[in-house]
Structure 1
Amino acid sequence: MPGSLGPAGPVAASGARYVGLAGAALLAVAGHLGGALPDAPLGVTPASIWRAPDGPATLICWLVGTTLLVGAWWSLRHGAPSTRWAYVTAGLWALPLLVTPPMGSRDVYSYACQGWTYAHGVDPYSVGVAAAGCPWLDTVAPIWRDTPAPYGPVFVLLAALAVGLGGGLTGTIVALRVIAVAGLLLAAFCLPGLARAAGVPTRRAAWLALAGPLVGVHLVAGAHNDAVMLGLLLCGLLVAIRRPVRPGALPLAGALPLAGGLPLAGGLPLVGGLPLVGRLLLAGALLGLAVTVKATAVVVVPFAVLAGVRHPYTVRALVRDGGWLAGGLVGAVLVTSVLSGLGFGWVGGLTHSGDSEQWTSPPTAIGFVADYAGALVGRDPQAVPVIRAVALLLLAGVLVVLWWRTWRALRRLNDVRVVLRGAALALVATVVLSPVFHPWYATWPLALLALTTVQTRWFTVPTALAAFLALPDGTNLARFTKAPGALAMTALLLTVLLRATRRSRPG
């Protein structure tokens, strides 16, 4: 493919496979020695972890394991030898992390308590898990004990199901991990179809999206609900773009060939089966379920609407086809919100997701620097909430501009790849401009970037660095590097902005 190297040779690929497996095994050992165990002390520091009985072994296994896993993933960033090889290797790396305690964060215990709250007849959007009387309260990070659940009703139902199936805390954690792995398997199932639509090798897309270090640690071992959101999101996009065209329609410009000589229009197979309206409703329903797991998925919906529009791309077609997809989404949100008995209280819970302040969020880092500068002149500007609010307004503007440019490009090029690209950039903008960033947030845009980007370094490097931000017990290193981290992030943003400004000048 243009602009990238070919896949690695068999010897190099085999070496990368077993280096990564060794890294995953070391991470699993670190999890057993000092992971986010239920009885692990909270509020610890890296120094106190080192002084613990197994502290040195824990940190050494964690650092070496992360380095090996990141290095093996990075070495094949241009593509695994084959799609099957990529899937097998990603699964092989996940095996040690399936049988280790939670690692990288303690969020899974919050999920368990929120599911327990709902299962015992208490609205998790009205009270925190402490007020609800969750018996596993001591396992939840203190910052999240008194805040309502910030997740949609579908995930609250899944968490309650895990509580019912698991019985005790251990069984609930196992059930939540199975749910997360199911979300990853759904994403893996959808990747080949999306890769064909995007015109990229599946072996590369699958490798970048599924074998990355953040996937195994945070989505498998950490059982984050982002895995379920991603699976539903990719499935909704796949259903939206695999639509039939009118009989006799000519192939569109930019058509892509498929193995076996199947005809394509705009890069899409001419598929039958479910009628177009049914496909759009189903795509909307899947996206609605993704939103009711984690609201972040909503930024992809406008681009999914474009993916569902039939050629010719007119405003009338946009309203007609987009209306069916939007109807499926609204229907899914309404049905799950009403039938769960939770209503729309989950929307209010989103306001608490920014309670944590860390420099890994660019707007928060800029706010920190502004506060530091104010302190030097004897003022206390409290800039963090202001900069965060400005960033959210900027995000809204960026999403509108991205959608408009994607719509214009789609009308000009007749190629669904511009839609997937727009959705990927929308998720990138969301990650960059959100008030909070945790390492697993990088998995949101990763799958779509793997499908749409030829030059991968600009997003694989941050992904690799994010793998080193958390310790196995859930301690976030950003908490202990506030000032230098904020200054470094602000300097990085200024550098990127300066380079972008220079490139945009004529000539």
Structure 2
Amino acid sequence: MTVYNPITRAADSARETMSKSRVTSWLIGGRDGGVSHTLRQGLLAALMIMIGSWGVGWLIMAPGYWLEYHPALQPLRATAAGTITCTVLLMLGALLLLRSWLRLSQRINGWNDPNGVKVMYRALLMWGTPLFLCFPIFSRDIFSYLAQGGLLYIGHNPYEAGVSELPGWFAAGADDLWAESPSPYGPLFLLIAQGVWHVSIDMPDMAIPLFRILAVFGVVLMAVVIPRLARAFGSQPAWALWLCLLNPLSLMVFIPAAHNDSLMIGLMLAGAWYALQRRRLVAVLLLIAAIAIKPIAMVVLPFAVLLTPQSTAHYMYRIREWAVAGVLAGVLLFGGGWLLGVGIGWFTAALGAGAEVLQGAPVGLLGIGVGWLVETTTGVDSSLVATWVYGAARIASAVVLTVMLLRPRMGNPLLWSAYGLTAVVLTSSVIQPWYLLWILPLFAVVHIYRGRVLMLVILLITVMTLAAMVGQLSVAQWLDTLLIQIIAAAVAAAYLGYLIFCDPNTTGLFRYPEKSQRWNAADGWLHIGELSTPDRSWSADQVYQEVRR
């Protein structure tokens, strides 16, 4: 129930007035405005983000590079007024995009609306197009991709050498985090990055759209496959698209930041789809390609291949699928690494991925705390003790995965891969905001969720988006970065407070009294824990909608 405080009443009055004006009615649409108004509001948000990124987005850091060739940027990037204006636009745009995403779920005629998927596709196109024209925001990993591709190009092994081995690496925009750190990416992605370096060696700014096209390809893969998997498992395609692709975290990570996570997830889901169709070779190749982009996809591989056999009740069926996938993965990944000249570095680097990042996850903080306590009491080096804690957490996650894979009664393999990947993420010493995006599709294609669990996901997406945006502003060195970040945080806090406590259309989404529930067409609404132990091991006859095989 919405509490109508003075701010809420003022907002309602302003919205009512604007809905009657010819100038603003196309955007506001009144209290009963339709989907088209929400789509336009999201478009306006994306345009605000685009313009804001021109002032505080990441650029190649060579002195005068962009300002020399693009003098129009001078007022936006080199002055306090321009930087502050762009910061405010960026934060307001991010929050308006969040509001548009939330309102879109309320404006369609139920998740079973036959036009729901088309609406989601329209939203993705309208909101994503301006974001393609942003300067990199949210993260500057795109420049690290380029630098690691450059390392491979000049004959260095990115799994042994940091980007500081590359002449002019800092001016190329790479974060100094990667100066002496091995690459955490797979050999296929490094090969692609090498190609981008080669193409853009004389025009480094060309690398941004090239990596972005690659990321958008991953988004397209997800947009095609997610509805198909959702129909097959009895979830709602429109809901799965809304949750996985249209939330502001996904849009920021996949398009302006051009993270390779979108390509990994797209290949991973495509592999699961072909496994469900019993096209074993295509499925395994796609899943291996996902691992060759980001090795974390290894967690999903042994689950996803179990969508192929008629039943998972017999261990011989499982062993057959694991053997086929394991042999192909070994030949392609290890053989490919050898041919590329990087050996098995991708595998060892993946096991230690995140070691160069500030340990901020629960396990990371636990390692730091235990290390400090042991060093204080025994004199043993705290970093060594922390490493033991992180190793123990990895072993614990491996045990969880093994137990899940060997249980006599296995649930839906894709859903169980979501549980397994969640366990791996939670036992990691570092958790980045985009890790959530690996997991969401694996849950969403099987069930719709509501109640407190959905509220928690919305809050996580909101906090992660805003925290990363505030912390990743590119501000000229002669300007006060802390002041700009304080302004960004203040704008974010004010608008977020309005959405949570004052906006009559969104406050209810943050005040769910109901317990967490999940739904699919086969079971209806059930408490979130009621399907944890299946009555029998998963088999192909449990597919809700017949898949063309």
Same fold (TM over 0.5): yes
- How far did residue 137 of structure 1 move? 4.6
Change (3 A) 1:401 1:101: same
May I ask how many residue pairs the two structures share in their alignment? 423
- Using the size of structure 2 for normalisation, the TM-score is 0.70
Quote the Cα distance in structure 2 between the aligned partners of 1:239 and 1:465.
Answer: 35
1:185 matched residue in structure 2:
220
Does the residue aligned with 2:89 lie in a helix, a strand or coil?
helix
1:27 matched residue in structure 2:
49
Structure 1 stretch 286-295 or stretch 306-315: which is displaced more? 306-315
- How far did residue 475 of structure 1 move? 5.4
Change (3 A) 1:166 1:27: same
Contact 1:37 1:473 (8 Å CA) reproduced: no
What amino acid sits opposite 1:223 in the alignment?
A: A
- How far did residue 238 of structure 1 move? 0.7
Structure 1 stretch 210-219 or stretch 348-357: which is displaced more? 348-357
Change (3 A) 1:28 1:40: farther
Q: 2:127 aligns with which of 89, 93, 96?
A: 93
Alignment of 1:144-293 (within 5 A): 144-167=178-201, 168-243=203-278, 279-293=279-293
1:333 matched residue in structure 2:
333
Q: Structure 2, unaligned stretches of length 5 or more?
A: 1-30, 64-76, 475-480, 487-515, 517-528, 531-549
Q: 1:33-64 deviations in whole A, cap 9, x for unaligned?
A: 101122399xxxxxxx9994433223322221
Contact 1:305 1:321 (8 Å CA) reproduced: yes
What amino acid sits opposite 1:67 in the alignment?
A: L
Q: Structure 1, unaligned stretches of length 5 or more?
A: 1-8, 42-48, 244-278, 411-417, 482-498
Contact 1:308 1:322 (8 Å CA) reproduced: no
- How far did residue 225 of structure 1 move? 1.0
Does the residue aligned with 1:230 lie in a helix, a strand or coil?
helix
Quote the Cα distance in structure 1 between the aligned partners of 2:32 and 2:241.
Answer: 18
1:16 matched residue in structure 2:
38
Does the residue aligned with 1:408 lie in a helix, a strand or coil?
coil
- How far did residue 430 of structure 1 move? 2.3
Quote the Cα distance in structure 2 between the aligned partners of 1:61 and 1:97.
Answer: 14
Q: 1:72 aligns with which of 100, 112, 120?
A: 100
- Name the Cα RMSD after superposition: 3.3
Quote the Cα distance in structure 2 between the aligned partners of 1:127 and 1:172.
Answer: 21
Change (3 A) 1:312 1:185: closer
Contact 1:34 1:473 (8 Å CA) reproduced: no
What amino acid sits opposite 1:436 in the alignment?
A: V
What amino acid sits opposite 1:63 in the alignment?
A: M
- How far did residue 282 of structure 1 move? 2.0
What amino acid sits opposite 1:21 in the alignment?
A: L
Change (3 A) 1:365 1:126: closer
Please tell me whether residue 444 in structure 1 is matched to residue 438 in structure 2: yes
2:166 matched residue in structure 1:
132
Does the residue aligned with 2:160 lie in a helix, a strand or coil?
coil
Q: 1:229-286 deviations in whole A, cap 9, x for unaligned?
A: 111111111111112xxxxxxxxxxxxxxxxxxxxxxxxxxxxxxxxxxx21221111
What amino acid sits opposite 1:459 in the alignment?
A: V
- How far did residue 134 of structure 1 move? 5.0
Quote the Cα distance in structure 2 between the aligned partners of 1:349 and 1:324.
Answer: 25
Quote the Cα distance in structure 2 between the aligned partners of 1:216 and 1:34.
Answer: 18
Q: 1:468 aligns with which of 466, 469, 473?
A: 466
- How far did residue 204 of structure 1 move? 1.0
Quote the Cα distance in structure 2 between the aligned partners of 1:195 and 1:163.
Answer: 38
- Using the size of structure 1 for normalisation, the TM-score is 0.75
- How far did residue 28 of structure 1 move? 1.3
What amino acid sits opposite 1:214 in the alignment?
A: L
Q: 1:165-207 deviations in whole A, cap 9, x for unaligned?
A: 3342111122111111111112222112211222111111111
Does the residue aligned with 1:468 lie in a helix, a strand or coil?
helix
Q: 2:447 aligns with which of 453, 473, 486?
A: 453
Does the residue aligned with 1:455 lie in a helix, a strand or coil?
strand
- How far did residue 301 of structure 1 move? 1.1
Change (3 A) 1:26 1:126: same
